[in-house]
Amino acid sequence: MIKADIRGKWALVTGASRGIGRQVALGLADNGCNVVLHSRDLAHTSPLAAELEAKGVEVVQISAELAKPEEVDEMIRILREEGPAIDILYNNAAIQIGYRSDWLDVPADEMRVSFEVNATALIRICHGLLPGMIERGWGRVVNVTSGVKDQPELIAYAISKAAVDKFVADTAGRLKEKGVLMNLMDPGWLRTDLGGPNAPGAVESVLPGALVPVLIEDGTAGELFRAQDWAGKAI
């Protein structure tokens, strides 16, 4: 695989304080990429920021509650007006509101909040940062999706991720000719706060596969990358 040189570029990782987001941020820094760490509270990413800076990269922290459109707007404004210019957007943040055995009675509010965080905020962050990538003629967007299926108990989460899949399918082709590659990444079922303690995979196994859609240089766009396909392999 021919890898893109991302040394000195800037990546925004949403939901970076723990789990998959933390692993992605570490992997990007190991490749010389500067990182903007997003979380709901700056205190959540401060330990990781220090860890990344020790690797010799620059780090910025930013906070926003993705369920609140006004905070998403403010985060986008800060990044667009104050920088740094984002070359790589890694939309990792998501919520899963429990496991509903009473799946025929999912409250409307669970649907609304799931879509607000997992789909609407993700799309609005893309739309806010894509113009800069297009202007510079290079960019990578990775939207984290899910392999959950046949589980109506998780329907609010699952259909919000299906919306992300549709967004990528409809958008990626328009961006490819402008030098911006947008793809999906399925991390697999991992032991994280979202995946739960009984998941079969360690969170560390998301690397190096989670970085493949960032480092590709072959023009692939609109595709699904499964991180576990690369588990234990070098890229």
pLDDT digits (tens, 9 = 90+) for 67-103: 999 999 999 999 999 999 999 999 999 999 878 888 8
Supply the DSSP string of 41-61, one letter for each residue.
SHHHHHHHHHHHHTTT--EEE
Whether 188 is in a domain gets the answer yes
Whether 29 is in a domain gets the answer yes
pLDDT digits (tens, 9 = 90+) for 203-227: 899 999 999 999 999 999 999 999 9
Higher pLDDT, 160 or 198: 160
**Residue 210 backbone dihedrals phi, psi, to 5 degrees:** -65, -20
pLDDT of residue 106: 92
Whether 59 is in a domain gets the answer yes
Whether 161 is in a domain gets the answer yes
Contact 191, 203 (CB under 8 A): yes
Domain of 66, in residue numbers:
10-229
Q: What single-letter amino acid sits at 40?
A: R
pLDDT of residue 198: 73
Whole-Å CA distances, 6 to 19, 28, 38, 138? 22, 8, 19, 11
Per-residue pLDDT averaged across 47-75, rounded? 98
Whether 1 is in a domain gets the answer no
User: Measured between alpha carbons, how far is 141 from 45 in angstroms, rounded to an integer?
Assistant: 21
Contact 224, 145 (CB under 8 A): yes
pLDDT digits (tens, 9 = 90+) for 100-137: 888 889 999 999 999 999 999 999 999 999 999 999 99
Whether 150 is in a domain gets the answer yes
Whether 235 is in a domain gets the answer no
pLDDT digits (tens, 9 = 90+) for 136-178: 999 999 999 999 898 999 999 999 999 999 999 999 999 999 9
Per-residue pLDDT averaged across 55-64, rounded? 98
Structural domains counted in the chain: 1
Whether 36 is in a domain gets the answer yes
What CATH number does the domain containing 54 carry? Answer: 3.40.50.720
Rounded to a whole number of angstroms, the distance between the first and last alpha carbons of the chain is 7
